[in-house]
């Protein structure tokens, strides 16, 4: 499967998931539901719902059976985005105003709460409508609840790291993103397995392992994009994570490897936000690029990708399995 093919498949499934979500996020007060669907209407790859769907199909399920769970994890994802933007005081996401910037703080908090509660409503009511057993639904609710708890724990650790003068160690950082980001990938794949008409506990664990490892790889590459990404592709300013002072893995590696004047150039703009000039940020990005951070971060991400692929190696050579394999490669190989 070529990169263009997986992108086309992602776009097709994203359209289906979006249509389902937008039809579900309707109600009164109208402005509350508009706020809750604000980020969904701006688009997105819908990689997590895609993994729910393909995990279900790999075990003999259908798109119809997987769609409620796929939509539920996307609602949780959007809930985290709304609240993350509030905590970080971000004004833009995906090239559009953040929810709190567009609708105000009060409505944004309520919109996030709606997204969170609606995700569990989807699991408990809509999964039953497509024939999923009560036992599987109970397991889904339990796993998604645990994932939400882990996301909050990971976010709290991230807040603590941001307020500390020290950088986390490599293992500490991996543990943090394993909760903050990978937990939702992990539960997405678990819910895909649980949506299938025939699944075993081993199937759920294998797909969970696939999701967790892909989630870690995805965040590592995302961190790299936050340092060296093209603003035209990311919708964020060049060197955004450097100017914001985010203690990500690529910046940790860069500061560890930089020598003398190189390190000074990075630290000069690190966390400087509005004080750093564009030329100084550009120079810091160049320094980090010259050190070879992209190679090191992508190699680390590939290690997790290979662990993920090993988790589903024993399954037959189905189209759904190939889609999961190529989505893993896509997550790690995303362009800067």
pLDDT tens, residue by residue, 85-120: 999 888 888 889 999 999 999 999 999 999 999 999
pLDDT score, position 123: 97
> Helix, strand or coil for residue 164?
coil
CA distances from 301 to 68, 332, 333 (A): 30, 6, 9
pLDDT tens, residue by residue, 193-205: 999 999 999 999 9
- Contact (Cβ atoms closer than 8 angstroms) between residue 74 and residue 48: yes
pLDDT tops 80 at residue 232:
no
Query: Given its phi and psi angles, is residue 245 left (phi above 0), alpha (psi -120 to 50 degrees) or beta?
Result: left
* Model confidence band, residue 160 (pLDDT cutoffs 50, 70, 90): very high
Average pLDDT over residues 29-56: 96
d(CA 212, CA 184): 8
pLDDT tops 90 at residue 275:
no
pLDDT tops 90 at residue 186:
yes
Least confident of 53-57, 120-124, 213-217, 277-281: 277-281
- Contact (Cβ atoms closer than 8 angstroms) between residue 182 and residue 212: yes
- Contact (Cβ atoms closer than 8 angstroms) between residue 127 and residue 69: yes
Least confident of 145-159, 222-236, 270-284, 298-312: 222-236
pLDDT score, position 116: 98
Percent of the chain with pLDDT over 90: 78
pLDDT score, position 251: 93
pLDDT tens, residue by residue, 112-153: 999 999 999 999 999 999 999 999 999 999 999 999 999 999
pLDDT score, position 272: 87
- Where is 92: in which H helix or E strand? strand 92-93
d(CA 184, CA 126): 20
CA distances from 3 to 85, 217, 331 (A): 31, 18, 11
Mean pLDDT rounded to a whole number for the chain: 93
Least confident of 5-14, 267-276, 306-315: 267-276
What are the beta bridge partners of residue 97?
Answer: 92
Q: 227: closest CA among 217, 237, 218? A: 237
* Model confidence band, residue 233 (pLDDT cutoffs 50, 70, 90): low
> How many C-beta neighbours within 10 Å does residue 85 have?
21
pLDDT score, position 2: 59
Helix pair angle (63-88, 105-121), 10° resolution:
160
Q: Show the DSSP H helices in the chain as ranges.
A: 3-24, 30-36, 47-58, 63-88, 99-103, 105-121, 127-129, 134-163, 170-180, 182-195, 201-228, 231-234, 240-243, 249-257, 260-269, 278-291, 293-311, 319-333
Helix pair angle (278-291, 293-311), 10° resolution:
60
* Those residues with Cβ within 8 angstroms of residue 94's Cβ, 6 or more apart along the chain or in another chain: 39, 42, 43, 44, 235
pLDDT score, position 1: 55
pLDDT tops 80 at residue 230:
no
d(CA 19, CA 39): 14
**pTM for this structure?**
0.94
Residues recorded for the chain: 336
């Amino acid at each position: 499967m070529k990169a263009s093919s997986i992108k086309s498949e992602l776009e097709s499934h994203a359209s289906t998931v979006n249509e389902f979500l937008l039809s579900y996020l309707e109600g009164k007060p109208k402005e509350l539901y508009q706020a809750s669907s604000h980020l969904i209407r701006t688009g997105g790859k819908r990689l997590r719902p895609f993994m729910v769907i393909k995990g279900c199909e790999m075990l003999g399920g259908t798109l119809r059976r997987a769609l409620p769970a796929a939509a539920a994890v996307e609602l949780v994802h959007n809930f985290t985005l709304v609240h993350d933007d509030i905590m970080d005081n971000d004004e833009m996401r995906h090239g559009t105003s953040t929810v709190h910037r567009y609708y105000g703080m009060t409505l944004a908090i309520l919109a996030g709460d709606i997204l969170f509660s609606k995700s569990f409503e989807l699991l408990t009511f809509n999964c039953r409508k497509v024939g999923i057993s009560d036992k599987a639904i109970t397991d889904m609710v339990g796993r998604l609840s645990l994932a939400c708890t882990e996301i909050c724990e990971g976010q709290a650790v991230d807040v603590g790291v941001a307020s500390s003068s020290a950088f986390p160690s490599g293992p500490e950082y991996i543990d943090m993103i394993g909760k903050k980001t990978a937990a939702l990938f992990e539960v997405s794949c678990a819910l895909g397995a649980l949506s299938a008409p025939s699944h075993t506990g081993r199937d759920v664990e294998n797909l969970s392992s696939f999701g967790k490892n892909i989630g870690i790889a995805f965040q590592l590459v995302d961190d790299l994009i936050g340092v060296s990404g093209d603003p035209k592709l990311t919708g964020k300013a060049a060197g955004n994570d450097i100017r914001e002072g985010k203690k990500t893995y690529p910046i940790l590696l860069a500061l560890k490897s930089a020598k003398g004047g190189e390190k000074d150039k990075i630290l000069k703009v690190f966390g400087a936000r509005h004080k750093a000039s564009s030329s100084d940020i550009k120079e810091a990005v160049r320094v980090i690029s010259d050190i070879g951070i992209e190679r090191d971060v992508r190699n680390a991400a590939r290690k997790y990708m290979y662990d993920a692929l090993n988790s589903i190696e024993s399954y037959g050579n189905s189209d759904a399995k190939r889609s999961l394999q190529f989505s893993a490669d896509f997550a790690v190989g995303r362009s800067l």
